[in-house]
Amino acid sequence: MKYVFLILIPVMIMGCRGEKAQADLSAQEIVDRAIEVAGGDRYRESAIQFAFRDRDYVSFRENGKRVLRRITTTDTAVITDSKIGNAFQRLVNDTLQILPDTTSNRLANSVNSVHYFAYLPYGLNDRAVNKELLGRVKLEDSMYYKIRVTFDQEGGGEDFEDVFIYWFHTETFRPDYLAYEYHTDGGGQRFRVAYNDRSVGGIRFQDYRNYKPLVAAPIAAIDSLYTAGKLELLSVIELEDVRVDPDTF
């Protein structure tokens, strides 16, 4: 019996160390693991295409710059909006449009927003992103790391004051839930629940059910509203015809 006990001691110690290692992960380490299991370098090395709400979206790199593109096809025109690095351009039937800065900024933010959510958690390591671990919480019978994300004014875009909360599964590191508080158009809060998790070309994509709160609460407490059934379903965020070309670069 004592030999069995002696054999179990190192196993118990290793188990405790493993649990401690998981508990001691920093916000940066959690995000790094989440990006790695979701696709890692494939995000940067691949061209990605998908359709969302009757528009086509494409991302790729050209001359060392990241290009985020949205293509809208109407009965009379093909409108191509492209965010190229920090610049923006609009083509209508291949003719460059001269736009006011306010319009260009608004359109660039719209294009960037769709791409940003489509590739999560990849963008969480951008230089302007600040990450804070709020602890571990339980949601729908699973444990999650709860991380608060804010942005520096420099490099954080026009919406740098927005606040995001992410819930990463403590075993899979999937961002199964996310919430954000925004200040444009009167402001508001949203809570998204991921579903339809799938891998395309080695990159994981998720769709979302999009909710808004029925009562006021701090954004960091919105998971409590979800658990209490105090959120209203607004829409679904579904990516269609997702394609990944890893041989682009």
Task: Please spell the DSSP secondary structure of 152-216, one letter per residue.
Answer: -STTS-TTTT-EEEEEEETTT--EEEEEEEE-GGG-EEEEEEEEEEEEETTEEEEEEEEEEESS-
Q: Please check whether residues 111 and 229 belong to one and the same domain.
A: no
- Domain contains 210: yes
- Domain contains 37: no
82 vs 70: CA distance, rounded Å: 6
Q: Please check whether residues 103 and 203 belong to one and the same domain.
A: no
Q: Please check whether residues 224 and 135 belong to one and the same domain.
A: yes
For the chain, the straight-line distance linking the first and the last C-alpha, in angstroms and rounded, comes to 60
74 vs 212: CA distance, rounded Å: 31
Q: Please check whether residues 158 and 105 belong to one and the same domain.
A: no
Which CATH number fits the domain that encloses residue 202? 2.50.20.10
Grouped pLDDT means (10 residues each) for the chain, 249 residues: 44 46 83 96 93 96 91 96 94 96 93 94 92 96 96 70 95 97 87 97 96 95 96 97 80
* pLDDT for res 22: 57
Q: Please check whether residues 207 and 107 belong to one and the same domain.
A: no
147 vs 200: CA distance, rounded Å: 26
Domain boundary among 93, 119, 145: 119
Q: Please check whether residues 70 and 156 belong to one and the same domain.
A: no
- Domain contains 186: yes
Domain membership of residue 85 as a residue range = 43-119
* pLDDT for res 6: 43
Q: Please check whether residues 132 and 225 belong to one and the same domain.
A: yes
- Domain contains 68: yes
Q: Please check whether residues 76 and 175 belong to one and the same domain.
A: no
Q: Please check whether residues 142 and 108 belong to one and the same domain.
A: no
* pLDDT for res 19: 47
Domain boundary among 64, 92, 119: 119
Domain boundary among 75, 98, 119: 119
* pLDDT for res 191: 98
Contact between residue 172 and residue 197 where contact means Cβ atoms under 8 Å apart = no
116 vs 110: CA distance, rounded Å: 10
How many domains would you assign to the chain? 2
Q: Please check whether residues 133 and 249 belong to one and the same domain.
A: yes
- Domain contains 3: no
106 vs 112: CA distance, rounded Å: 10
- Domain contains 15: no
Q: Please check whether residues 160 and 209 belong to one and the same domain.
A: yes
Q: Which of 236, 221, 114, 82 is nearest to 163 (CA)?
A: 221
* pLDDT for res 157: 62
- Domain contains 179: yes
* pLDDT for res 158: 64
- Domain contains 84: yes
Q: Please check whether residues 74 and 176 belong to one and the same domain.
A: no
Residue with tokens 């995001």: 164
